[in-house]
Structure 1
Amino acid sequence: MMCVLLASFALLFSCKKILDPEIIELPTADNAITSSADVEKGVAAAYSFLRTVVPDKVFLMGDVRADVFSSYSQSSNVRIETPIATNTAAALLNNGGGNWNQFYTVIAQCNLLLEKIPLITTYDAALRRRHIGEASFIRALTYFYLVRFWGDVPLNLKSVDTENLSRAKQEDVFNQIKADLDIAITNLELDYGDGDRAVRASKGAAWAIKAHVLGWLQDFAGCEKLCDSVITRGPFSLVTDTTNLLSIFVGKSGEGIFELNFDASLREVQKNRVYNRTLGRPWYTDQSDGGGGTDKFILSPTRQQLNKMFTPGARDGRLFTWFTRETYLQGVNNDRIFLGKYRTLQVKGDTSSQNINESNIIITRLADIMLLRAEALASTAVGRAAEAAVLLNKVRGRAFATPYTGGGDIQDTILLERRKELIGEGQYFFDLVRTRKLDKDSKITAADWYQKGAWLLPIDQGIIAKSNFMITQNEYWK
């Protein structure tokens, strides 16, 4: 089950220097890694593998599953993604929600790097530290996705492991995640000044992901301190031009902390369900797959869902920046409103395959961490709600939204703000689980969602069988 063949592989890479388009071969266990140049290629491959698995998985299971999006084809001509929010096994499994194999490809590559780096004798010390930090960071982030999706998961720290591994306890996996992030924090710099800001791991990115890890584990005091480090010590700043918020998704903005890069000039474009399921005409016009261009298949908020986020008539600049103005004003097909965050298309697109989008996938950005810190500050464990309100209003302020002046439950207010700010970035389902409020917006019932494990994904039966049944199904899905 855990054996991963790391063979020569044609890759589209994502960072200008480390991920040079000329690099097309991946070091393998057979030819080993014998130089820092080999490690550069290996790190490039790890980023590329991460970029392959994250966009679809996290959007579908982090946003669509949270019932943030719906489809005109809810009852007829139903697209495969449409029923995900119903949290049924068929809907989840049909959309890759049971398959963790690609995540383990990323992990195996990081394991290989971390095995080989100590064996290389001629190595610039600063570059060695950076490579160790990056491989540790990518492995930690990948395991963080795994454990949030499936709970107990196999914990493999070997590049090639032919043994069947059973599922490790979440506690053990989280201990490994935290250890890897601590290594990343120790070895990475805040800014490398090499033109690859946000698309390669940095100390700030490791702080941010560890803050999310501690928030998930309900350690809000630790979470708050790490968020504060990102905000006060990191080289990050909010994009303040409200008319140009889409620059965040073009990529490498001052707000970006860690993101997956796509750049047509580097031969990096892609087709995935984040892009071509949230944009219709005129951005996509091909109808060959029943998706983009056929507006009734678009995954988008309904007017009712949008009104739950944004009070009708209230001022908020995100209505015309996150969403396409034309569809917000007029709606399409049963009053659907297109999410417009991913409108960055290659000018001369491949309309036959829709493989034309070069928007970056944001893993974490400053607004995310500001709201996460606000959440931690407002928790009963920290109890500094006034400071939480200040951060909340900084995020609202750049969208010219009405400031929060008190009243209601500030924790619910922050959760709603995260939904408004981060819609389409794969965060909201995780937010609902972390805050224990999954029954608030999703279709998962309060009786099932946490104690019975309905928030976890099922595991594909093929994975279970190939493990000789050492892998067991999550309890809720048996």
Structure 2
Amino acid sequence: MKKLLKYTFCSLLFLSVSGCSNSLLDKEPISNVSGEGYYKKPSDAQAGVNGIYNGLQSLFRQNFAYWGEGRADNIVTRHAGDPAALQQNTLTPVINSARWDNFYTVISRANYAIKYIPQAFGTEDSELKRQLLGQAHALRALAYFYLVRIWGQVPLVTEPYEGLDQDLFVKKNTEAEVLAKVEADLILATENCASNYSGARNRVMITKGAAYAFLTQLYMWQKKYAQAIEMAEKVIADPQYALVPIEDWNNIFVKGSSTESIFEVGYNEVQPNNLRVWYANGSDSDYVPSAGFIASIEPDDLRKPRIYDVSQVQPRKIWKFFGEGFNDESPEPSAGNIVLTRLADILLLKAEAHASLNQPVEALDLLNRIRIRAGLPVLDQNKAQSQFGSLVGSILHERSVELCFEGHRWFDLLRNETAISTMKPINGLSDKRNLLWPIHEGELLKNPNLQQNEFYR
């Protein structure tokens, strides 16, 4: 019991107040304190929200590619551990990517911020207060959206743990309940977040545009196509977002903070991530392009040599995130940001929504904007049908290539209910219950009210 309480209450870790507004990526958590005792002034509220972003860094640093790409068809691996388990569909409750504790660290920090930011500002109704609340709600929503897509039913916790009278052994909520809270949080974020921030912070902090983009993803997941279109239009209408020219395509990831980017998880040399481990260690990286993915790329696609080393018969280098000719033996850590959503993602989601509503003119216009940039011929409905089986199929193909290795492919397969048909010939996936991850055994041991997902019992 003492071990459980220590685990729970230590989940709230705040950043140093010093330099909090300009050092989002550089500060480490320094203490465990109560929210009521911590949030005394606006700078404390800013530091508390910075702590949520810090938690987001830790969350995606290790498992981002495993959750979004590891179980899909665009990659192959020769590595043991999570890469092999995911590719071979032999998931167990002890693999690292089955852990959800970092998600709940983000959620815990957000819950404290949401409760105590008003206290830090007192009766003052300031723009900063509204912005910080909006960011906290959006970051909590982002964590829960990933949780549902990975594990299905999960506990919905919206209050901070502050006393022994609270129920520590929470039960799962339905997916609908959790996603309703995701929607509410993101709507609040659209109403309170700033339209933009100064400098590089503009892409690593939640803006109105980022909240609209994540609402677009949410509504597409729920097949609420009209709502998805409405949210996507708000992103597309924002003049700060624009597709980059093809010659700058790699710089979306290499340099970060491009005009195409909407929200990135920020990293630097002090707090690097595993992008190189996943993709850029040559023959020793976790993942390389699969033969099926390579064959799917159309002739003369200008993105092809920007994705991997085309000079190799069996490509061993994914340099999309590092630039053409990247030295895969470089000892430097990966300091590049992880781009969670960008304009191309939203354009193609909107195209998919239009296609699903039998609105081919609108869908093709958006699809062809991406194809033209890639140097590909435009498609009409007949060509889309003959080449890719359907208009939706052509859009999903375009997402597969344009957004390759960015953490979207597995969720695209799930959203369109094609995960089993795609992966069964590759690894035998055949049971819908197997689409979810197992809950890590450590979580089950800490909480007797949790039940393992059905396929893994």
TM-score, length-normalised on structure 2?
0.88
Matched, 1:108 2:93: no
After superposing the two structures, state which structure 1 stretch, 141-150 or 153-162, moved more. Answer: 153-162
Residues 154 and 174 of structure 2 are in contact (CA less than 8 Å); yes or no, is this contact kept in structure 1?
Answer: yes
Matched, 1:413 2:398: no
Residues 79 and 297 of structure 1 are in contact (CA less than 8 Å); yes or no, is this contact kept in structure 2?
Answer: no
Residues 141 and 177 of structure 1 are in contact (CA less than 8 Å); yes or no, is this contact kept in structure 2?
Answer: yes
Aligned residue in 2 for 1:426: 407
Instruction: Select 1:247's aligned residue among 247, 251, 272.
Output: 251
Q: CA deviation at 1:46?
A: 0.6
Matched, 1:375 2:355: no
Aligned residue in 1 for 2:440: 460
- The alignment partner of 1:43 has SS state of helix
Distance change in 2, residues 1:395/1:16 (3 Å) = farther
Matched, 1:402 2:377: yes
Q: CA deviation at 1:419?
A: 0.6
Distance change in 2, residues 1:32/1:360 (3 Å) = same
1:33-70: CA deviation from partner (whole Å, max 9, x where unpaired): 11111111111111111111124323112112112211
Instruction: Select 1:47's aligned residue among 29, 45, 53.
Output: 53
Alignment partners' CA distance in 1, 2:329 and 2:392:
45
- The alignment partner of 1:25 has SS state of strand
Residues 25 and 266 of structure 2 are in contact (CA less than 8 Å); yes or no, is this contact kept in structure 1?
Answer: no
- The alignment partner of 1:66 has SS state of coil
Matched, 1:389 2:364: yes
- The alignment partner of 1:211 has SS state of helix
Alignment partners' CA distance in 1, 2:288 and 2:329:
23
Aligned positions of 1:11-22 closer than 5 A: 17=22, 19=24, 21=26
Q: CA deviation at 1:446?
A: 12
- The alignment partner of 1:253 has SS state of coil
Residues 114 and 133 of structure 2 are in contact (CA less than 8 Å); yes or no, is this contact kept in structure 1?
Answer: yes
- The alignment partner of 2:310 has SS state of helix
1:322-348: CA deviation from partner (whole Å, max 9, x where unpaired): 22xxx31223xxx13422122279x99
Q: Taking every aligned residue pair, what percent have the same amino acid on both sides? A: 28
Q: CA deviation at 1:188?
A: 1.2
- Which residue type is aligned with residue 250 of structure 2? L
Aligned residue in 2 for 1:300: 288
- Which residue type is aligned with residue 443 of structure 2? I
Distance change in 2, residues 1:180/1:317 (3 Å) = same
In angstroms, what is the RMSD of aligned CA positions?
3.0
Distance change in 2, residues 1:95/1:200 (3 Å) = same
Q: Which runs of 5+ in 2 are unaligned?
A: none
- Which residue type is aligned with residue 251 of structure 1? G
Distance change in 2, residues 1:447/1:24 (3 Å) = closer
- The alignment partner of 2:379 has SS state of coil
Alignment partners' CA distance in 1, 2:257 and 2:137:
22
Aligned residue in 1 for 2:305: 320
Matched, 1:310 2:297: yes
Q: CA deviation at 1:349?
A: 12
Q: CA deviation at 1:18?
A: 5.2
Residues 371 and 392 of structure 1 are in contact (CA less than 8 Å); yes or no, is this contact kept in structure 2?
Answer: yes
Alignment partners' CA distance in 2, 1:188 and 1:398:
31
Distance change in 2, residues 1:434/1:349 (3 Å) = closer
Aligned positions of 1:269-284 closer than 5 A: 269-270=272-273, 272=274, 274-281=275-282
Instruction: Select 2:321's aligned residue among 342, 345, 356.
Output: 342
Aligned positions of 1:211-290 closer than 5 A: 211-233=216-238, 235-240=240-245, 242-249=246-253, 250-264=255-269, 267-270=270-273, 272=274, 274-281=275-282
Distance change in 2, residues 1:199/1:303 (3 Å) = same
After superposing the two structures, state which structure 1 stretch, 165-174 or 404-413, moved more. Answer: 404-413
1:113-139: CA deviation from partner (whole Å, max 9, x where unpaired): 011012121756010011000000000
- Which residue type is aligned with residue 330 of structure 1? Q
Instruction: Select 1:360's aligned residue among 321, 337, 362.
Output: 337
Distance change in 2, residues 1:80/1:141 (3 Å) = closer
Alignment partners' CA distance in 2, 1:245 and 1:348:
19
Residues 138 and 206 of structure 2 are in contact (CA less than 8 Å); yes or no, is this contact kept in structure 1?
Answer: yes
Q: CA deviation at 1:206?
A: 0.5
Residues 279 and 285 of structure 2 are in contact (CA less than 8 Å); yes or no, is this contact kept in structure 1?
Answer: no
Instruction: Select 1:437's aligned residue among 418, 425, 440.
Output: 418
1:2-55: CA deviation from partner (whole Å, max 9, x where unpaired): 8241466789x9997251636753673164211111111111111111111124
Alignment partners' CA distance in 2, 1:248 and 1:417:
18
Alignment partners' CA distance in 2, 1:402 and 1:185:
37
Q: CA deviation at 1:211?
A: 1.0
Aligned positions of 1:161-176 closer than 5 A: 163-176=168-181
1:375-421: CA deviation from partner (whole Å, max 9, x where unpaired): 00000xx2211110110010111111222223310101101110101
TM-score, length-normalised on structure 1?
0.84
Alignment partners' CA distance in 2, 1:46 and 1:69:
31
Aligned positions of 1:186-225 closer than 5 A: 186-225=191-230
Distance change in 2, residues 1:78/1:368 (3 Å) = same
- Which residue type is aligned with residue 265 of structure 2? L
Residues 18 and 41 of structure 1 are in contact (CA less than 8 Å); yes or no, is this contact kept in structure 2?
Answer: no
Residues 166 and 471 of structure 1 are in contact (CA less than 8 Å); yes or no, is this contact kept in structure 2?
Answer: yes
- Which residue type is aligned with residue 110 of structure 2? C
- The alignment partner of 1:259 has SS state of strand
Alignment partners' CA distance in 1, 2:110 and 2:82:
32
Q: CA deviation at 1:103?
A: 0.3
Distance change in 2, residues 1:229/1:164 (3 Å) = same
Alignment partners' CA distance in 1, 2:100 and 2:286:
26
Distance change in 2, residues 1:342/1:197 (3 Å) = same
Q: CA deviation at 1:80?
A: 4.5
1:241-283: CA deviation from partner (whole Å, max 9, x where unpaired): x12211101211001111111233xx3433x2x32231135xx
Alignment partners' CA distance in 2, 1:25 and 1:37:
16
Aligned residue in 2 for 1:84: 86
Aligned residue in 1 for 2:75: 69
What is the number of residues matched between the two proteins?
Answer: 437
